[in-house]
Copies of this chain bind each other. A is one copy, B any other.
Amino acid sequence: MTEAQPVAVAVSTVIFGLREADGEPALHLPLVRRVREPHLGRWALPGGPLAPEESLREAARRNLAATTGLDPRHLEQLYTFGAVDRGGAERLVSIVYWALVRTDEADRTLDDVNVAWFPVEALPPLAFDHDEVVGWAVKRLKAKLEYTRISHALLPEEFTLAQLREVHEAILGRRLDPANFRRRVEATGTVTRTGGLQSGVRHRPPALYRSTARQELLT
């Protein structure tokens, strides 16, 4: 029951990070410009064929390192896409992972003209069915925001509640009431004060917080 015919298998990765756009943090992802057919010249998610000796997760990490030079804070399998016609002439099954990188890391500039970060809300036309793939990833990220601590993975170790709120606002694409947000977060017990205050702020510097969960327990 397991003898399977050859099908092209690729691993692709949707990598989310927060970067400034118009002076505010906005959800971004890096894309790679295709240098061959099909879809030559179009932007696509970082990805490539599954190598013989690597696991699916290793392939995703390899994509991520090659595209951004980063080790992700969060890496998780999203979904496998396998519609009959999605690869064009070849039958292509893509196992997609999604990753979160820290805000300060997402600002790193890549020295490759064929790699660039784009705001999720203003993506160029994408190759293959990658717009559908990004849509799934954004939906999953929004859902996880509600019932996990995943937003912490986008922030430095210590952060203010305003920074945490800005992460939520960037992902949800809408403003949140600061007082309500503070009450809700404090009630969940997912963050705790470090005792420190934000540096570089003279007048009433805001308190710093950290996640109460260890990094590997963020979700």
Contacts and interface: CB of A to CB of B under 8 A. Distances in A.
In the complex this chain forms, how many copies of it are found?
Answer: 2
A8 B34 CA distance: 26
Contacts of A6: 6-9
Interface string A134-147: 00000000000001
B128 A2 contact: yes
A10 B83 CA distance: 14
Contacts of A147: 147
A114 to B, nearest CB: 10
A7 B53 CA distance: 12
Interface residues of A, number: 39
B8 A93 contact: no
A215 interface: no
Interface string A1-25: 1111111111000000000000000
A147 B54 CA distance: 35
